[in-house]
Amino acid sequence: MSIEQPFETIPVEALRARAQALRDEGWRLVQIGATRLPDQLELTYSFDRENRLANLRLALPGDEPKVPSISSIFWCAFVYENELHDLFNLHVSDLAVDYRGHFYQTAVKFPFGSTKPPAAKPATPQPAAAKA
Amino acid sequence: MARTVIPFGPQHPVLPEPIHLDLVVEDERVIEARPSIGFIHRGLEKLVEKKDFVEFTYLAERICGICSFIHGQTYCQGVEGIMKIAVPPRALYLRTIWGELSRLHSHLLWLGLMADAVGFENLFMHSWRVREKVLNIIEATTGGRVIFGSCKVGGVRRDIGPEAAEGMLADLEIIERDIRDITGIFLNDRSVKDRLCGVGVLSRKDAYDLGCVGPTLRASGVAQDMRQLGYAAFKDLPVQPVTRTEGDSFARCAVRCEELFQSIDLIRQALAKIPAGDIAVKVTGNPNGEHVERTEQPRGEVFYQIKANGTKHLQRFRVRTPTFANLPALVKVLQGCELADVPVLVLTIDPCISCTER
Instruction: Tell me the average pLDDT of chain B.
Output: 89
Q: What is the Cα–Cα distance from B41 to B122, expressed in whole angstroms? A: 34
- Taking residues B110-132, report their average pLDDT: 91
CB contact under 8 A, B318 and A29: no
pLDDT in tens, B229-258: 989 889 999 899 999 999 999 999 999 999
| Omega within 30 of 0 (cis) for the link into B275 | no
CA distances from A23 to A20, A58, A71, A72, B208 (A): 5, 18, 12, 11, 12
Whether the pLDDT of residue B21 is over 80: the answer is yes
Q: Looking at the domain assignment, is residue A66 inside a domain?
A: yes
- Helix, strand or coil for residue B340? helix
Closest-CA residue of A relative to B307 is A35
CB contact under 8 A, B41 and A104: yes
Q: What is the Cα–Cα distance from A81 to A75, expressed in whole angstroms? A: 11
Q: Looking at the domain assignment, is residue A105 inside a domain?
A: no
pLDDT of residue A18: 92
CB contact under 8 A, B38 and A104: yes
Q: What is the Cα–Cα distance from B342 to B330, expressed in whole angstroms? A: 10
Full domain range(s) for residue A18: 7-93
CA distance, residue A7 to nearest chain B CA (Å): 10
pLDDT of residue A19: 92
- Contact status, residue B91 vs residue B155, Cβ threshold 8 Å: yes
Which of the pair, B28 or A111, is modelled with greater confidence? B28
CB contact under 8 A, B292 and A104: no
pLDDT in tens, A15-35: 999 999 999 999 999 999 988
Number of H helices, E strands in chain A: 2, 6
Question: pLDDT-derived band of residue A64, with 50, 70 and 90 as boundaries?
Answer: confident
Closest-CA residue of B relative to A26 is B209
Here the CATH number for the domain that contains residue B33 is 1.10.645.10
Question: pLDDT-derived band of residue A89, with 50, 70 and 90 as boundaries?
Answer: confident
Here the CATH number for the domain that contains residue A81 is 3.30.460.80
- The angle formed by the CA atoms of residues B201, B202 and B205, to the nearest 5 degrees, is 145
Question: pLDDT-derived band of residue B32, with 50, 70 and 90 as boundaries?
Answer: confident
Closest CB from A31, A34, A104 relative to B303: A31
Handedness of CA B320, B321, B324, B326 (dihedral sign): positive
Q: Looking at the domain assignment, is residue A76 inside a domain?
A: yes
Q: Which residues of B touch A40 (CB under 8 A)?
A: none
Contacts 24+ apart (CB under 8 A), B192-196: B192/B115, B192/B118, B192/B120, B192/B123, B192/B253, B193/B250, B195/B117, B195/B118, B195/B249, B195/B341, B195/B344, B196/B114, B196/B118, B196/B248, B196/B249, B196/B250, B196/B253, B196/B344
pLDDT in tens, B273-286: 999 989 988 988 88
Structural domain tally of chain A? 1
Closest CB from A2, A46, A86 relative to B81: A2
CB contact under 8 A, B41 and A106: yes
Residues of A with CB under 8 A from a CB of B: 1-3, 5, 7, 28-31, 33-37, 44, 46, 51, 53, 55, 74-76, 78-79, 83, 86, 97, 99, 102-106, 111-112
ipTM of the complex as predicted:
0.84
Full domain range(s) for residue B290: 3-357
Residue among B318, B327, B332 nearest B349 (CA): B327
Q: Which residues of A touch B37 (CB under 8 A)?
A: 103-105
Q: Looking at the domain assignment, is residue A42 inside a domain?
A: yes
Q: Which residues of B touch A7 (CB under 8 A)?
A: 290
- Helix, strand or coil for residue A53? strand
CB contact under 8 A, B41 and A111: yes
Closest-CA residue of A relative to B234 is A1
CB contact under 8 A, B328 and A30: no
CA distance, residue A5 to nearest chain B CA (Å): 7
Structural domain tally of chain B? 1
Closest-CA residue of B relative to A100 is B36
